[in-house]
A and B are shown apart, each in its own frame.
Chain A
């Protein structure tokens, strides 16, 4: 199985990403192993899926943290998708999941984000990065996580803006 970057190190990916089902989300048969299901499957089958510990949910870029709401706290993993790397909605969605909906599990970027977005994504609370490109050089990509080590604004990794920390 393809590897990913999690908490700054390369690790095995034990989760299977489930694509959006073609038909009725309520009728989709969710596999029994560790899976990340699309939001619509989660919303349609929440009652049964909630009893499992190995269910993650992924949000597409046009789906909001609010749609997951308080469910976020109960999940071990949430994915935020980049259909295109230029679609930056996941940056806001990630912050909302962390800062407003109390999500403390693995927050995973999925889809077509690029290496050069890693530092900002980390700042917005994303801690796992599953590149869509299997050829991706993860060793090299890790370096981009720390393009910056000092920041002006409040964010997930450093809630105090620089103006509150300047001596």
Chain B
């Protein structure tokens, strides 16, 4: 159920790209350092490690990988 909904959302965002978006000179806000997807990458890395070791699922935001004997 959930899977279908999400794949529809992905499909929509893909097909709508030609009409979505802004001109290069309108990217002032998006270019802010705090808008980068990895703007808090240390926090994200530490969080990923905590939740990886304490919960049953992992990954999603980025590649899950292995590399930890905690789970």
Our verdict on whether A and B bind, yes or no, reads: no
